[in-house]
Amino acid sequence: MTLSWLLSRGVCGGQRQVASREYDSSCVFCRVGSGEEEPANSKAVLHKNDRMVAFHDRSPAADVHILVCSVAHIESAKDLKRGEEDFKLVSDMLDLGKTLIAELAPQDETQYGFHLPPFNSVDHLHLHCFALPFRPAWKAWKYKQLPTPLGTTYLTASELLKELRPEPSVSETA
């Protein structure tokens, strides 16, 4: 199942109106992104710029488990639109996640992805970045694409990028 298939059928809230991308004071990731609040795990922010913020997950599921969040309040991956802006945001989030994982735990086995509603714990776009293995091993189930009556639970970053890739213009296809 692809994200576009899920959205076309209203699965995982696909019929809901897209939320504003404005700061939401009730959102913990907005507060961390604005600098008002430190991450819950009391570890420092690893990276911050005007579009994203990265920090260690408060309940790590692997030796290194980093979250890369958009600074703009985007509720989830399903609220993203095909096109250059959202494609670039997710691509930059993935690049940052890969860079931080390489710095903190250089190894071959990594994973990058997004939970989809209603399976995300915080309603703010955030990329899970892992240096594997999962610890404890059972946590791997939380980060797999599992079909449920409500839709799939998780989408890899590369799959999301395929869904967001801008359509080629007419001049590019000619």
* Active-site amino acid positions: 128
8-state DSSP, 38? -
- CB of 98 closer than 8 Å to CB of 68: no
Measured distance CA(89)–CA(74) in Å, rounded: 11
Spell out the long-range contacts of 80-86 with Cβ–Cβ below 8 A and sequence spacing 24 or more.
80/125, 80/160, 80/164, 81/18, 81/164, 82/163, 82/164, 82/165, 82/166, 82/167, 83/164, 83/166, 84/166, 86/164
Nearest to 55 by CA among 73, 28, 76, 22: 28
Question: Residue 6: which of 162, 152, 146 has the closest Cα?
Answer: 152
